[in-house]
Amino acid sequence: MKVSTDYLHALEGRIRIKVPEIKGSPAKADELEKQVQWHSGIHFIKANPTTGNVLIYYDSQQTAQTNILQTLYELGYLRQTAARGLAAPEPSADGNSLVNVVLNSVAQSMMEMALTRLVTALI
């Protein structure tokens, strides 16, 4: 299964993901933290209702990124892949899906930085 989000940044043991459902809702952000914090292997979770970002630190020896994303999906915080958005990786033996996610994230960050610099230069 693939899930969709507008932003996903993943490193070994760390995920930052955009969850639109919590943006502007401190109650939803708190609810998400309480539901996920006891998931096996999760060390820290912070859901920011101002930005809609969720930061998760986890032990990659105890759980996989895909397990965390699956949990968020099952709790209703992520959607199945739609026409737009970045697809979360499916489990794979060679890890290529994680590489693709990281490359897509880096490319997106570079484009955002270039656009910011361009706008700043124009002002």
- Domains, the chain, ranges and CATH? 3-122 (3.30.70.100)
Judge whether residue 20 has pLDDT over 50: yes
For residue 92, what pLDDT is reported? 47
Backbone angles phi, psi at 91, to 5 degrees: -60, 140
Percent of the chain with pLDDT strictly greater than 70: 72
Which pLDDT tens digit goes with each residue over 69-82? 888 888 888 876 54
Which pLDDT tens digit goes with each residue over 47-72? 999 999 999 999 999 998 888 888 88
For residue 83, what pLDDT is reported? 42
For residue 81, what pLDDT is reported? 55
